[in-house]
Structure 1
């Protein structure tokens, strides 16, 4: 069983959406824990973006009403087996903040997926409402093609 941390910039849209989807399928995907964080998140906790919550609810996913954003901390590199970034900028920040000795493996969330034409989950925060639908489509596609062997995620790992 793998402990998974999903990471985006602010932990308001992409990573909490991915957390909700993967938590719903955690047992079948071999995940013992699924959480999210943001590399550039505010030290003040915020609820998930309302547009993200709306799109999740429309598809039957939910986050606990008490869910709040959180900033990535050094201890996360010891607590989680796999830390997946939503985009390259976030992955670069993960690599820069990773302690010298860490058991966590780093990678891109969409690594190894074919036919999408992209390998990063775009940030929908400043986009239109349909940007959140597109992000959820990508997250669900990843959940449906979750590899039994986690090697595709680690291709871009440091």
Structure 2
């Protein structure tokens, strides 16, 4: 299949950028690599708050991802910037609170870029990826399962877009 040279860019966003959004970034990067299209779609993650700037993802998120073949230890937390709304085609919030924060930061003519990540996995019947930070290991496993389902749905949509 022939793809255009234009690259799409996807930003995954949670609150602190140490649990959910780096997990989503890692899962989606691996999915793109497995399908040999990582050169066509740029991927990043960020937080709506500056709690953990420059830090690696939460150790529990790293261990959960690594156990499932995804490496995220190289990622570093950052905060969403004004430039992100220009740079990214899809800005995917992990929950409605972060989507609302993004809409508050976003220029009015770009709010259509902001979506809930779980909208790409309607079969999961949840709208938010729950924050596992204060929970146990089971929460990180659940996050990984949810973002994997949403990443597959997102990939299907982007792949169809790139194939046009």
Bin of the TM-score, shorter chain as denominator length? 0.7 to 0.9
1: CA distance, partners of 2:157 / 2:29: 19
SS at match of 1:33: strand
Residue of structure 2 equivalent to 1:110: 118
Q: Which among 5, 8, 24 is matched to residue 14 of structure 2?
A: 8
How far apart, in 2, do the equivalents of 1:103 and 1:115 lie?
25
Equivalent in 43, 62, 71 of residue 62 of structure 1: 71
The yes-or-no answer on 1:88 pairing with 2:100 is: no
Is 1:24–2:24 an aligned residue pair? no
Q: Which runs of 5 or more residues in structure 1 are unaligned?
A: 151-158
**How many residues are paired up?**
149
SS at match of 1:25: helix
Which range is displaced more, 6-15 or 135-144? 135-144
Q: Within 2, Cα distance between the matches of 1:101 and 1:108? A: 18
For the Cα contact (< 8 Å) 1:6–1:83, is it kept in 2? Answer: yes
Q: Which of 108, 111, 128 is the aligned partner of 1:120?
A: 128
Deviates more, 1:135-144 or 1:81-90: 135-144
**CA separation of 1:99 and 1:147: change in aligned 2, threshold 3 A:** same
C-alpha distance in 2 between matches for 1:82 and 1:129: 29
User: 1:147 and 1:24 mapped to 2: Cα distance?
Assistant: 11
* Distance (Å, rounded) in 2 between the aligned partners of 1:26 and 1:38: 22
1:78·1:104 contact (CA, 8 Å) conserved in 2?
Answer: no
1:129 alignment partner, one of 120, 124, 137? 137
Query: CA separation of 1:121/1:43 partners in 2, compared to 1, >3 Å: closer, same or farther?
Result: closer
Contact residue 17 and residue 79 of structure 2 kept, 8 A? yes
Native 8 Å contact 2:17 2:52 kept in 1? no
- Aligned residue number for residue 155 of structure 1: none
Relative to its length, the structure with more helix (as a share) is 2
Q: CA RMSD in A?
A: 2.1
Return the TM-score normalized by structure 2.
Answer: 0.82
